[in-house]
């Protein structure tokens, strides 16, 4: 998968080739029609076809494929708004400048997203807690796996998030496999952090295996606050990384996820870690 990192001088992402799991499609705009709708539809069809081909080809070589990267540099500026709207209505995608990243999450991740969102929502009355919702950071579009907004996005931002610039959340949670998927999540957080000083970030690392996690030895016990952070990211998942609001990337606090613990958050709620382990066990 390609890893994004920030150029500290220009604050623009570049690509560092990390493995072969990302397929890049150069979407060349060869259409001469002046119709934005026709041009947009044609480009979307090109992207769909190339993504299908990439998935079929790359899955044979790399079963860990979870992101497909598309180069949008061939799309003319006057078509950009229409094309981006169509892209985000068609794909679970994120964009940084000319690069589009299309994610493919399996059922386990989706279940964990839902469990966490359902647990957080009653703890945050008056907030908007959403899964995979488009928001804008530095002119680019991202989809937090789970996000919590206060105040909630306006009606227009909720219906037309691109045109009306849906803001980023105050709580941003990413869920990633403990492989190159983790690297991609870290790269995304690295890019976003400087533009979201009031947001706290959580990264949940999952074991990329079919083996079951050991069951809860003491079910029904009240959860305790997670302990002192580790000196480095754990080698084995499940684990959680936490960035307090305004923290630098290197100030992350790493913890192993263990039964009957919770992660206290700056917004005044707890992230119950049994929610994650229940799905892994």
Tokens in use for 205?
A: 């690392």
d(CA 136, CA 160): 12
Q: pLDDT grade, residue 74 (50/70/90)?
A: low
Question: 61 pLDDT exceeds 60?
Answer: no
Domain holding 134: CATH number?
3.90.1570.10
pLDDT of 98 reads 81
Q: pLDDT grade, residue 10 (50/70/90)?
A: very low
Residues 98 and 117 in one domain: no
Q: What is the dihedral of CA 3, 244, 146, 273, to 10 degrees?
A: 110
The tally of CA atoms less than 13 A away on the side-chain side of residue 62 is: 17
Residues 19 and 135 in one domain: no
Task: Tell which of 60, 76, 104 closes a domain.
Answer: 104
Residues 276 and 186 in one domain: yes
Residues 166 and 61 in one domain: no
Segment of 57-66, 175-184, 220-229 carrying the highest mean pLDDT: 220-229
Burial class (CB in 10 A: 0-12, 13-18, 19+), 225: exposed
Contact between 94 and 103 (Cβ < 8 Å): yes
Average pLDDT over residues 58-67: 62
Tokens in use for 39?
A: 């041009």
In 67-145, DSSP assigns E strands to 67-71, 93-96, 99-103, 128-131, 135-137, 140-142
Residues of the chain with pLDDT > 90, as a percent, come to 61
Residues 210 and 79 in one domain: no
Question: 99 pLDDT exceeds 90?
Answer: no
Contact between 274 and 260 (Cβ < 8 Å): yes
pLDDT digits (tens, 9 = 90+) for 17-37: 233 233 334 433 333 222 233
Helix axis angle, 36-61 to 80-90, nearest 10°: 40
Contact between 18 and 183 (Cβ < 8 Å): yes
State the total domains in the chain. 2
d(CA 223, CA 25): 47
Task: Tell which of 82, 104, 126 closes a domain.
Answer: 104
Distance from chain centroid for Cα 98: 18
Question: 14 pLDDT exceeds 60?
Answer: no
Question: 8 pLDDT exceeds 90?
Answer: no
Global confidence as pTM: 0.81
Q: Where are the alpha helices (DSSP H) in 143-272?
A: 155-159, 180-192
Residues 200 and 254 in one domain: yes
Residues 145 and 241 in one domain: yes
Contact between 3 and 22 (Cβ < 8 Å): no
Task: Tell which of 55, 75, 104 closes a domain.
Answer: 104
Q: pLDDT grade, residue 67 (50/70/90)?
A: confident
Residues 96 and 142 in one domain: no
User: Which residues, including other chains, have CB under 8 Å from residue 8's CB and lie 6 or more apart?
Assistant: none
Average pLDDT over residues 98-114: 88
Q: pLDDT grade, residue 256 (50/70/90)?
A: very high
Residues 147 and 82 in one domain: no
Residues 145 and 98 in one domain: no
DSSP 55: H
Distance from chain centroid for Cα 147: 10
User: Which residues, including other chains, have CB under 8 Å from residue 72's CB and lie 6 or more apart?
Assistant: 27, 83, 95, 98, 99, 100
Contact between 51 and 70 (Cβ < 8 Å): yes
Of 84-93, 108-117, 129-138, which gets the smallest average pLDDT? 84-93
Q: Provide the domain limits for residue 225.
A: 106-281
Residues 151 and 230 in one domain: yes
Residues 153 and 248 in one domain: yes
Relative to beta strand 200-206, strand 171-177 is parallel
Residues of the chain with pLDDT > 70, as a percent, come to 77
């Amino acid at each position: 998968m390609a890893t994004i990192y920030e150029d500290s001088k220009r604050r623009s992402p570049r690509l560092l080739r990390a493995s072969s799991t990302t397929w890049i499609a150069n979407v060349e705009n060869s259409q001469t029609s002046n119709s934005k709708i026709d041009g947009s539809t044609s480009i979307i069809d090109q992207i769909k076809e190339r993504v299908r081909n990439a998935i079929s080809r790359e899955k044979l070589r790399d079963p860990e494929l979870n992101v497909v990267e598309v180069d949008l540099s061939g799309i003319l500026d006057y078509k950009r708004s229409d094309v981006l709207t169509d892209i985000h209505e068609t794909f679970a995608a994120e964009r940084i400048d000319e690069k589009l990243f299309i994610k493919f999450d399996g059922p386990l991740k989706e279940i964990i997203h839902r469990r966490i969102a359902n647990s957080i929502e009653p703890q945050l009355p008056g907030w908007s807690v959403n899964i995979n919702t488009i928001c804008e950071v530095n002119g680019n579009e991202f989809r937090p796996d789970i996000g919590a907004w206060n105040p909630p996005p306006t009606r227009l931002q909720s219906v037309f998030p691109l045109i009306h610039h849906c803001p980023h959340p105050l709580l941003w949670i990413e869920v990633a496999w403990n492989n190159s998927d983790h690297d991609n999540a870290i790269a995304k957080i690295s890019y976003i952090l400087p533009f979201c000083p009031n947001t706290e970030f959580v990264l949940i690392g999952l074991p990329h295996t079919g083996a079951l996690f050991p069951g809860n030895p003491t079910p029904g016990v009240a959860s305790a606050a997670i302990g002192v952070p580790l000196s480095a990211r754990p080698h084995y998942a499940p684990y959680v990384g936490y960035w307090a609001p305004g923290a630098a990337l290197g100030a992350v606090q790493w913890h192993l996820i263990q039964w009957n613990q919770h992660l206290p958050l700056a917004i005044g709620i707890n992230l119950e870690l049994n929610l994650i382990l229940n799905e892994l066990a």
